[in-house]
Amino acid sequence: MIHLAIDIGASSGRHIAAWREDGELKMKEVYRFSNLPDERDGHLVWDLDRLCREVVGGLKACKEQGIVPDSVGIDTWAVDYVLLDDQDRPILPLYCYRDSRGAEGAELAHKAVPFDRLYERTGIQFQPFNTIYQLCWDKAHGRLDNAADFLMLPEYLSFYLSGVKAHEYTNASSTGLLDAKGRTWDMEIVSALGLPERLFAARPQTPPVKLGRLKSDIGSQVGFDCDVVLPATHDTASAIAALPQKGTAYISSGTWSLLGAELAQPVTTPAAMKANFTNEGGVGTIRFLKNIMGLWLVQCLKRELNDQYSFAQLAQMAKDEANFDYQLDVNSARYLAPKSVIAEIDGECAQKGWPVSQTPGQYAHAIYQSLAHAYAAALDELESITGEKFDVLCIVGGGANNTYLNELTEQAIGRSVLTGSPEATALGNILLQEAAYV
């Protein structure tokens, strides 16, 4: 069988096909596209029509290359969602989580339900872009008045292909509206926030889930038919499903760095809340982890330098400029959607009385060194909160290829770093599609 993983991140998307030959999994990238938010009317938004076109475009590319999948599964980043009217048409715009509206939504939500109560029930860390806060903003601005349903982004894209709506557990767990222990919507919180209960009528399902076949119009466009499967639709959940070694601490390293461990049960203690750790659904586990800003900062730097350097060149330039021990606050709101990451780094260095960087390599080193320190601090917190000791930190995702950052991380944490697949998200997606046929 051929399985197709459509893995869409907050900067790019890929269609990766996989099949078994003599028991060995073979993977091939068939299609790739860029994915960045647009700025419209003072807000950051995603172009939903373009995302749908790219999903279908990649399916067409499969056919053109003689690769006809038996199934397709889509994963994306978490928290962003599509509101639907009573005709299942999207209510636009589709806001990007980096948009500033979440702060107002968080203030409204916490007036109705204090954060410590939210954390105790849902186990989800505070981030101003959490789904719960975006929905509270929507309610305050009348966007829910005509909403009959909502789907998380990968659920919507799967619905676009199959015509079948379903909520999937790993992505639903990121919303801040799921009972962490009961693993279903927390209707007490929904009611307290005044959100329409009709949006939460369908219970999230445990992956993998076979939704159905391609809609006839989609099949006609791409030239074949196949199953549409919900893998772990939250990209980090799919990545962690592909860890090369279980029982380790891990980082899913990409636009975001998600550092944590797989646990049997959620941890919603005051210590976990204070450290801003989150309890997200995994495949049969709880992914207890912390969000760290991640390689987004390097992506911003690369763009600001007009893409004249590759990521590999920036890493080497950083290594050549390793002459100062930077500890920038990489999780500061100043880095969430900076107009100029260089200006923000300069501003923080000036505030702390540090030398201001002068070269691209020095800026890159400041980012890498600061990420390594952030990883070390988060790992210490993880061990303190869980009472467990982790001798190995496993890094998967695109950041697994960054040898310099891995070296800095190993130095900062004082223990071994094990690297896994740079395509861990697509690999986990595919493994779950395979499981749907067992």
Residue 398 near residue 253, CB atoms below 8 Å: yes
DSSP 241-310: TT-SSTTSEEEEESSSEEEEEEESS----HHHHHTT-EEEE-SSSEEEEEEE-TTHHHHHHHHHTTT-S-
- Chain position carrying tokens 């373009």: 50
- Chain position carrying tokens 């690369």: 302
199: amino acid identity, one letter? L
d(CA 108, CA 104): 6
Which candidate in 235, 346, 380, 391 is catalytic? 235
Q: Catalytic residue at 149? A: no
As given in the structure block, the two tokens for residue 22 are: 């003599």
For 334, what's the count of Cα atoms within 13 Å in the CB-facing half-sphere? 14
| Closest to 416 in 3D by CA, of 395, 396, 392 | 392
Pairing state of beta strands 249-253 and 392-396? parallel
The enclosing H or E element of 142 equals: none
| Closest to 242 in 3D by CA, of 15, 25, 9, 4 | 25
Q: Which residues are identified as catalytic?
A: 235
